[in-house]
Amino acid sequence: MEKYEVGRMLGQGNFAKVYHARNLKTGQNVAIKVCNKEMIMRVGMKEQMKREISVMHLVRHPNI
15-53 pLDDT, tens digit each: 899 999 999 999 999 999 999 989 888 888 889 889 988
3-class DSSP assignment, residue 27: coil
- With a cut of 70, say whether residue 1 has pLDDT above it: no
- With a cut of 90, say whether residue 12 has pLDDT above it: yes
Q: How confident is the model at residue 2 (pLDDT cuts 50, 70, 90)?
A: confident
Tell me the residue type at 45: M
**Is 63 contained in some domain?**
no
Instruction: Please count the structural domains in the chain.
Output: 1
37 is in an annotated binding site: no
pLDDT of residue 17: 95
**Is 64 contained in some domain?**
no
**Is 13 contained in some domain?**
yes
pLDDT of residue 14: 87
Write out the H or E segment, with its range, that includes residue 29.
Answer: strand 29-35
Domain residue limits at 27: 4-58
**Is 16 contained in some domain?**
yes
What is the value of pTM for the model shown?
0.76
